[in-house]
């Protein structure tokens, strides 16, 4: 319990030092939970433990965001009226956390090795879209270029859903998003499109 309290203290201290507001945290929670749901179903339909593991990592991030927004809301309440107004935001934040918990439960089906059940295989055989995670290698043609500059979507048919750079995530990257060696791309597309993207990141 003491260890968890120390971790919470660190989360709150970091939040205060970064001067993030409640709106920023709530947006990040929304983006994170949305990505988790997408990845969880993708992991289920493709029986991908790698993608399921990413969902689990994102759930840890969601836990930190939950502590952060609760601390911010508590610090923002100066009067009973403030507390009443902020309680609605808290309910939204907690509901978003519930969504992420459910996404992790879906991913855990794969992590426990149950994803090879015949019913999942039959669903997979009827699913055209694949979701993959690929890492940009040191000699890749993508390094230093933007998504728009290399026209990843139009040239491969793959849609880049998110980019993991170190421990940080970039949600809904756009044409101006620059790519670097070591970036982990979460992408979706047909089997042929995915193979083309895998060639580009080498």
Q: State whether the Cα torsion 85-88-90-92 is positive or negative.
A: negative
Looking from the CA of 136 toward its CB, the CA atoms found within 13 Å total 24
| Paired tokens of 58 | 């994102």
User: What CA–CA distance (Å, rounded) separates 132 from 72?
Assistant: 35
pLDDT tier at 11, thresholds 50, 70, 90: low
Residues of the chain with CATH 3.30.70.1450: 128-200
CATH superfamily, region 128-200: Regulator of K+ conductance, C-terminal domain (3.30.70.1450)
Q: Helices (H), strands (E): how many in the chain?
A: 8, 4
- pLDDT computed for residue 144 by the predictor: 94
CA–chain centroid gap for 60, Å, is 11
Residues of the chain with CATH 1.20.58.220: 2-118
Distances from the Cα of 138 to the Cα of 71, 142, 181, angstroms: 41, 10, 6
In the three-class reduction of DSSP (H, G, I as helix; E, B as strand; rest coil), residue 73 is classed as helix
- pLDDT computed for residue 167 by the predictor: 82
Among 13-22, 114-123, 186-195, which range has the highest average pLDDT? Answer: 186-195
Q: What is the mean pLDDT of residues 36-61?
A: 87
pLDDT score of 1 more than 50: no
Residue range 2-118 forms a domain whose CATH class is mainly alpha
Give 9 or 96, the one with higher predicted confidence: 96
Query: Among residues 92, 36, 34, 93, which one has the least CA distance to residue 60?
Result: 36
Cα–Cα–Cα angle for 27, 31, 36, nearest 5°?
145
Q: Name 131's bridge partners.
A: 188
pTM of the model as a whole: 0.75
| 52-105 per-position pLDDT tens digit | 999 999 999 999 899 889 888 888 878 888 788 888 899 999 999 999 999 999
């Amino acid at each position: 319990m003491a260890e968890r309290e120390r971790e919470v203290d660190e989360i709150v201290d970091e939040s205060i030092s970064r001067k993030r507001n409640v709106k920023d945290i709530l947006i990040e929670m929304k983006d994170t939970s949305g990505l988790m749901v997408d990845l969880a179903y993708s992991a289920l339909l493709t029986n991908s433990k790698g993608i399921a593991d990413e969902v689990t990592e994102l759930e840890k991030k969601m836990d930190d965001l939950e502590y952060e927004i609760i601390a911010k809301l508590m610090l923002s309440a100066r009067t009973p009226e403030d507390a009443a107004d902020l309680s609605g935001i808290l309910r939204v934040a907690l509901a978003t956390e519930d969504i992420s918990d459910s996404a992790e439960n879906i991913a855990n089906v794969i992590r426990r090795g149950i994803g090879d059940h015949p019913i999942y295989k039959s669903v997979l055989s009827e699913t055209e879209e694949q979701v993959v995670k690929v890492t940009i290698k040191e000699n890749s043609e993508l390094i230093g270029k933007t998504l728009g500059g290399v026209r990843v979507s139009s040239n491969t048919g793959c849609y880049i859903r998110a980019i993991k750079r170190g421990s940080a995530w970039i949600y809904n990257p756009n044409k101006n998003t620059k790519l670097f060696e070591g970036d982990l791309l979460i992408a979706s597309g047909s089997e042929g499109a995915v193979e083309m993207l895998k060639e580009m990141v080498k």
